[in-house]
Structure 1
């Protein structure tokens, strides 16, 4: 028997409230968040010491590779981490190179998103999946880098990636003492729709989100495609909607926190310390409650984006721009997620892609 509309609405709201107020259990201990904080914070500390906080920011982005450390044997961990570091470096380089000719930015970001998503799914790369690869490309593409500065910026990003690998090695040696590593799961069977179709739809949504940001003339529009990708990566339409809701609510709370932090007299050392503290807290919370983690991700990303130019713009304008970026990215991510999980859309797009695919590409 079908429930009345009012009861169905009440049931939906009750479920959403339950999702928002549930704290998930987690066995993540403090050493992992601490290592993540060191991986992204040490370059900023070096930049503060040398009076080059902007260079430290680029290197700290490369240090995010630590978050891809798998829970396997030491040898497999380092191979996987070095491969991810090289992949992130390639994404940043291609993104920054496309920024030298603005018409190439959107096609480059779409291609990077598709290729990285396909690779992550073929090799069953766990969370955060393709997120930081695409974020590195988007930040590189939207940064004011000249051709003469490009080699130095790529070198800084690569240095941060190597530092993240070094932190990952030390962390693994510490945590694997007296503990058997997790076994390496077999790679999943190749599925054309899961690997190719999903990647193309996700890439199209990311490209559309960046196009919308450019048409609206948003300052520093890289956060729009990052927000879009973070939402559309949900495993189901329900998961996408729930993640969007938590991200928007968390960003709203994070905007207030960011405004308060940016109102403080922050310098290079204080920014580095704040980034490390926020990274530690985010990694402790993200597996427990996504909205609470997002409330901290907002001030973290603003600090990272504005570390080199703090004090040159009003805090209110910065946090307002970030909230608008998040809303736009989440809206396009939700629309892309509907297309991604709609059977009719999948059938039409899948048939079209299969006609374009070369012979044998639909099988491993």
Structure 2
């Protein structure tokens, strides 16, 4: 009886953790501006009968999500740095696909570097997520060497548009409410900045390697799902985020199925994606599983919109579900290692010996 009572108590605690809504003061202008940043490039692409170009620029529109709520000069400097990182990450992925065996090490190194920098500067969510996502999508978008400047240029134009929207949005919002003070950066530590980044990057690479070994049709989403789970700051957060992502994706696939069955055109696809992006930004700070319901069809459209109608959506839906499950399982394993004191005590000295001295000694932030 005691065991049954403990099980019931555990299930109740798990259910409460999974269904808890977080309070947020996020109002509709921010999600609306974020949706425009990713949706306007699609409308421009549709007007020129090149929706595929608009999809690449739309990925650059994700830059808006890194806009902090600090004074204007700090906002734009942060956005400029994030734009450079997003462009560089995407370029690394696009170049690596020219030689397919290089995609795994390229994505691993990219994940390590962007995670290290984002943790050094204590970047809030989404952190390194969209940098790795851009690199992963770029690494699995077919094209030749002459397509590299075009693709990188299109993403750069998306970043520029997002920066312009962020500037106009800041002009309006800063007149209505004062900016938040720039938070002081804590002194970086080896474990938080270097060790965590290396482990996260390695598991992102492992996730992609497994996807290639299993010969998945679209392996880019496996490392992205893995990273999304690994971003939990505690093992409990990792576990909760994994469940949220799997459940949200499963429900989101039903929504994606319905969306894909609609008679979508080059003009209606951008409108659907703008609506999905708005819902995501309204919900993601409140409940991750609900946001994942809308993330799933958005990401499918972000990559597959240019080829919709050419094949049945059923294989695409099934592939996305198993990609997410595989990525979440690898992410959970990585989270167990990341938050295990014994694993840290064993591996941390090895990383210190392998890395250059200047990288393992983290000086105070000026």
Band the TM-score falls in, shorter-chain normalisation: over 0.9
Q: Which runs of 5+ in 2 are unaligned?
A: none
2:362 corresponds to which residue? 363
> In structure 1, what is the equivalent of residue 118 of structure 2?
120
Post-superposition CA distance 1:178-199 (Å, at most 9, x none): 4221111111111001111101
- Equivalent-residue separation in structure 2 for 1:74 and 1:363 (angstroms): 29
In structure 1, runs of 5+ residues without a counterpart are none
Query: In structure 2, what is the equivalent of residue 258 of structure 1?
Result: 256
CA-CA distance at 1:16 after TM superposition? 1.6
Deviations 1:160-205 (A, max 9, x none): 0111111110111110004221111111111001111101110111
For residue 177 of structure 1, the aligned residue among 175, 178, 186 is: 175
| Deviation at residue 156 of structure 1 after TM alignment | 0.1
Q: Which residue of 1 aligns with 2:328?
A: 330
Structure 1 counterpart of 2:309:
311
- Where do 1:231-270 residues align within 5 Å? 231-270=229-268
Q: TM-score, normalization: structure 1?
A: 0.98
Q: Aligned-residue CA RMSD in angstroms?
A: 1.0
1:197 aligned partner: 195
Contact 1:69 1:77 (C-alpha < 8 Å) held by counterparts: yes
Structure-2 separation of matches of 1:4 and 1:208: 41
Which residue matches 1:297?
295
Distance in 1 between residues matched to 2:254 and 2:282, nearest whole Å? 21
Instruction: Give the structure 1 partner of residue 149 of structure 2.
Output: 151
Please say if 1:107 is aligned against 2:105.
yes
1:60 corresponding residue in structure 2: 58
1:7-46 aligned at under 5 Å gives the runs: 7-46=5-44
Q: CA deviation at 1:20?
A: 2.6
Answer yes or no: is 1:161 the counterpart of 2:148: no
Give the Cα–Cα distance (whole angstroms) in 2 for the partners of residues 288 and 128 of structure 1. Answer: 14
Q: Secondary structure at the match of 1:177?
A: helix
Indicate the residue corresponding to 2:86 in structure 1. Answer: 88
Looking at structure 2, the residues matched to 10 and 71 of structure 1 have their Cα atoms a distance apart, in angstroms, of 43
| 1:135 corresponding residue in structure 2 | 133
Cα shift at 1:21: 2.4
Instruction: Give 1:19 deviation, angstroms.
Output: 2.1
How many residue pairs were aligned? 362
3-state DSSP of counterpart to 1:218: coil
Kindly indicate whether the alpha-carbon contact (under 8 Å) linking 1:113 and 1:134 is maintained by their aligned counterparts in 2: yes
Secondary structure at the aligned position of 1:268 is classed as: coil
Structure 1 equivalent of residue 270 of structure 2:
272
Give the secondary-structure state (helix, strand or coil) at the position aligned to 2:175: coil
User: Per-residue CA shift, 1:44-72, capped at 9, x if unaligned?
Assistant: 00111111000000000001000000010
Give yes or no for contact 1:354–1:362 (8 Å, CA) kept in 2: no
